[in-house]
């Protein structure tokens, strides 16, 4: 890691705009850092693709970002973290590579007093069982209930995060999940789109359930990793630079991404990149 310097950027990639919820948490946690975000909008969604395809896409995104002088790489996609983290780490050996699964599982285990934990995510994340495995590795006696909730992704991107449609879809997914696991005290939002629907989810599950957002815990993990490696941006630095890349439809990325990032994004600020 000799060639890595504190002023180098943190690279973040996702299949589209969902990972901007992770970037938002990173910007809040590490305001002095430089960030480069890549949304692979030409090939989204990853959640319905085969593991072989997701690994190929993730490696291509990682290699594109590594060409831009990084000091850390964040896989801000639950599906890619679940399926391709090991392969990306094997390819990218010069900087730390952090996924969103392990920090989310760690936070879920710390939050749950009963050991009964529920996870919602995309089809690919739930089918692969990465959250279930990561939770049980930390708490072998944990009882983990999991369900795919793919319509949440569409609702987030269409800005239907609240109201009767969001409420109905939340109950559609969560009522049977929690009815089958009545002692559940912690729910993991295992997709980066899902924090956009947090209010609808909270209303559906009621006040007795802790909700874990892996975006927040991932940001904390990145800070710890950089601090341990001695490559945090110096304290007191002004706000760092943000560079946004997309593999297709920069204007749509800017329009939808502004809601996820909670800041204005001009279409001309999104660079087109071909993987």
Is 224 a known active-site residue? no
Q: Are 139 and 109 in contact (CB under 8 A)?
A: yes
Pick from 114, 266, 84, 100: nearest CA to 195: 100
Written as six digits, the tokens of 34 are: 């430089």
**Residue of 77, 109, 161, 224 marked active site:** 77
Q: Are 2 and 14 in contact (CB under 8 A)?
A: no
Is 109 a known active-site residue? no
Q: Which residues contact 164 (CB under 8 A, 6 or more apart)?
A: none
Written as six digits, the tokens of 154 are: 């569409």
**Residue of 109, 161, 191, 224 marked active site:** 191
Written as six digits, the tokens of 245 are: 């890349």
| 61-65-70-71 Cα dihedral, nearest 10 degrees | -10
* E strand residue ranges, 44-142: 70-75, 97-99, 116-121
Q: Are 125 and 54 in contact (CB under 8 A)?
A: no
* E strand residue ranges, 40-181: 70-75, 97-99, 116-121, 143-148
Q: Is the peptide bond before 242 cis (omega within 30 degrees of 0)?
A: no
Residues marked active site are found at: 77, 191
């Amino acid at each position: 890691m000799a060639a890595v310097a504190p002023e180098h950027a943190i690279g973040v990639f996702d299949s589209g705009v969902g990972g901007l919820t992770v970037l938002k948490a990173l910007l809040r946690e590490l305001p002095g850092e430089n960030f480069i975000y890549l949304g692979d909008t030409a090939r989204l969604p990853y959640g319905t693709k085969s593991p072989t395809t997701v690994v190929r896409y993730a490696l291509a995104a990682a290699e594109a970002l590594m060409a831009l002088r990084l000091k850390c790489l964040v896989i801000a996609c639950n599906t890619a973290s679940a399926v391709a983290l090991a392969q990306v780490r094997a390819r990218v050996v010069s900087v730390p590579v952090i996924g969103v699964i392990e920090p989310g599982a760690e936070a879920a285990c710390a939050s749950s007093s009963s050991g009964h934990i529920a996870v919602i995510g995309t089809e690919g994340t739930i089918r692969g069982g990465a959250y279930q495995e990561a939770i049980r590795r930390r708490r072998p006696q944990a009882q983990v209930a999991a369900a795919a909730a793919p319509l949440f992704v569409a609702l987030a991107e269409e800005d239907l995060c609240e109201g009767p449609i969001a409420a109905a879809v939340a109950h559609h997914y969560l009522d049977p999940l929690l009815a089958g696991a009545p002692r559940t005290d912690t729910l993991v939002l295992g997709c980066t789109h899902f924090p956009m629907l947090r209010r609808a989810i909270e209303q559906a599950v009621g006040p007795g359930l802790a909700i874990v957002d892996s975006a927040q815990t991932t940001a904390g993990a990145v800070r710890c990793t950089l601090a341990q490696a001695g490559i945090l941006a110096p304290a007191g630095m002004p706000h760092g630079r943000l560079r946004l890349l997309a593999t297709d439809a920069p204007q749509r990325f800017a329009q939808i991404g502004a809601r996820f990032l909670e800041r204005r994004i001009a279409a001309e600020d999104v660079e087109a990149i071909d993987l």
